[in-house]
Amino acid sequence: MKKYSIMLLSVLLLVSMFLAACGNSKNGSGSNTSADGNTSKNNTPSTQQEDTKKNADPVKLRVFSTFGGTDAAREAFQKAIDDFTAANPNVTVENDTMSANDDGFRTKVNTDMTSGNEPDLLFYFIGADAEGFVDAGKVVPLNEILDADAEWKNGFAPSALGFAKQADGNIYAAPLTGFYEGLFVNKKIFADNGLELPTDWDKMTTAVKTLSAKGIIPLSVPFDQSHYLIEYSVLSAAGPESQNKGLKDGVDPNWEKAYAAMKELYDLGAFPKDAATIDLSMSGNYFSEGLAAMTIEGSWAIGGWSDDTKNNATVIPFPQVPGGAGSGNNVVGGFGSGFYISKAAYDNAAKKDTVVALMKHLTSPASIQKIASANGGTPAAEVELTGLPQVALDGFAMAAKADSINSPVDSKVAPETFSELRRNVQQVVTGKITPAQAIESAKKVEDANKK
């Protein structure tokens, strides 16, 4: 597959000003004529513009995103919205949020999009997750809007817009920050136990056996919310080409090797004893509190860890699964989410200009810089990030040196298929079904959802 470049740190100086965001104004003609008919000599263009905004008809927008709760960029995102409403006092923005780790997030978005309750601006996944409402025409293509505003379009890194394309070749989502996923390792725990970083399978299994014998959780991941374990196991076993195809063209036996590798790790004592009942939040806590030596997570997780863990952690690709097609230097990452404008809002004359202006503001280089600095994500613009811990810089370096950058496998298969892949993790590692049966059942779900 095509290898996409990820934009890293120290590319350009921080853009010093926000892009101007224009609110929709029906009142005011732009004239300097006062109410009594006389021309005012004191009304400067800037004063006129401010008066026009103050007198504009009220506009209320609802934005739905994952920037809430404990999200590292919550405050930066709210500040970006506040800056917009301060500059456009006629605009009220409802900042509606839900955690992306909550599987109910997908359910709510799909329900809202099919019930006529779609948000005006939606921050959501790109790829298979969005196919339903994209195909149903619930959101508008951004191609013409991008082409009509060269300054805004050129503010994006080309790779970010490349990742944002849907299967039909159109861009429906304006990217904000990207991500990388990887095997995060507590270097201190490894050093204290005389272990080498798990850059290959032998070093991984040696670490698992050593740490498990000492009562240290080797690899903290949950079974139900096993998103990242699946993504990296499949990529490392099946390789980028097969992973990118998903399950459309039959079953690649290398996918079975991914599940066999998970079972091998389980049999060696790799996972928490309560892996069957914990979620991603608790799994992350084990790593953050120094109770686990490794975890598989995304760049967004770093901000929630303790300072000790941040200072002692690094991130590397998941090692090649024995006999698999991966190189051991393939990385999951890219720009997997962005802002969609609902067609209902775009077709509403009272909202159209304002919702476009808000989207441009939230994806301006200045906003991208602040949000990426907060969550450690790969910026969708060529900006300099500040204040990041070394582990985040290690993540950017990992992506820069990777043999390939690959969208997650959950963007290659139907949501129901990925749910089946997740459900089968515990079944396989505990010996209730075989790896072949796990993949075959997922294939049946995929076929049923592609009819």
Euclidean distance between CA atoms 13 and 53, whole angstroms: 31
pLDDT for the residue 214: 97
The reply to whether 151 falls in a domain is yes
The reply to whether 23 falls in a domain is no
pLDDT above 60 for 262: yes
Query: What is the percent of the chain with per-residue pLDDT over 70, rounded to a whole number?
Result: 87
Sign of CA dihedral 344, 348, 351, 353: positive
* Residue type for position 189: I
| pTM for this model (two decimals) | 0.74
Give the Cβ contact number of residue 191 at 10 Å. Answer: 12
Euclidean distance between CA atoms 323 and 236, whole angstroms: 10
Considering the domain architecture, whether residues 151 and 283 belong to the same structural domain is answered as no
pLDDT band at 451 (very low <50, low <70, confident <90, very high): low
Euclidean distance between CA atoms 377 and 369, whole angstroms: 10
User: Do 80 and 371 touch, CB atoms closer than 8 A?
Assistant: yes
pLDDT for the residue 344: 97
Considering the domain architecture, whether residues 339 and 441 belong to the same structural domain is answered as no
The mean pLDDT of the chain is 87
pLDDT above 90 for 316: yes
pLDDT tens-digit series, residues 265-300: 999 999 999 999 999 999 999 999 999 999 999 998
pLDDT for the residue 46: 53
The reply to whether 103 falls in a domain is yes
The reply to whether 41 falls in a domain is no
pLDDT tens-digit series, residues 220-239: 999 999 999 999 999 999 99
Mean pLDDT value across residues 142-150: 97
pLDDT above 80 for 3: no
**More confident call, 160 vs 184:** 184
Query: What's the number of domains the chain is made of?
Result: 2
- Residues in a beta bridge with 290: none
pLDDT for the residue 248: 81
Considering the domain architecture, whether residues 326 and 363 belong to the same structural domain is answered as no
Considering the domain architecture, whether residues 66 and 112 belong to the same structural domain is answered as yes
Q: What is the CATH number of the domain that holds 125?
A: 3.40.190.10
Looking at 349, 375, 401, which one is the last position of a domain? Answer: 375
Considering the domain architecture, whether residues 298 and 313 belong to the same structural domain is answered as yes
Considering the domain architecture, whether residues 81 and 226 belong to the same structural domain is answered as no
Residue 80: both structure tokens together: 């970006």
Mean pLDDT value across residues 116-127: 94
pLDDT above 70 for 21: no
Considering the domain architecture, whether residues 169 and 268 belong to the same structural domain is answered as no
Structural domain boundaries, residue 317: 179-333+393-449
Considering the domain architecture, whether residues 69 and 150 belong to the same structural domain is answered as yes
pLDDT band at 2 (very low <50, low <70, confident <90, very high): very low
The reply to whether 18 falls in a domain is no
The reply to whether 32 falls in a domain is no
pLDDT band at 416 (very low <50, low <70, confident <90, very high): very high
Considering the domain architecture, whether residues 191 and 91 belong to the same structural domain is answered as no
pLDDT for the residue 11: 29
Looking at 313, 345, 375, which one is the last position of a domain? Answer: 375
pLDDT for the residue 42: 46
Considering the domain architecture, whether residues 210 and 256 belong to the same structural domain is answered as yes
As to burial, measured by CB atoms within 10 angstroms (0-12 exposed, 13-18 middle, 19+ buried), residue 43 is middle
Considering the domain architecture, whether residues 341 and 325 belong to the same structural domain is answered as no
Query: What is the percent of the chain with per-residue pLDDT over 90, rounded to a whole number?
Result: 74
The reply to whether 139 falls in a domain is yes
pLDDT tens-digit series, residues 32-84: 333 333 333 444 555 555 555 666 899 999 999 989 887 889 999 999 999 99
pLDDT for the residue 34: 34
Looking at 375, 407, 441, which one is the last position of a domain? Answer: 375
Reduced to 3 states (helix: H, G, I; strand: E, B; else coil), residue 298 is strand
pLDDT band at 336 (very low <50, low <70, confident <90, very high): confident
pLDDT above 60 for 200: yes
Cα 439-449-434 angle, rounded to 5 deg: 15
Mean pLDDT value across residues 170-189: 96
CA distances (Å), 282 to each of 98, 106, 299, 309, in order?
18, 21, 17, 15
Considering the domain architecture, whether residues 307 and 194 belong to the same structural domain is answered as yes
The reply to whether 221 falls in a domain is yes
pLDDT above 50 for 24: no
pLDDT above 90 for 4: no
pLDDT for the residue 100: 74
pLDDT for the residue 14: 25
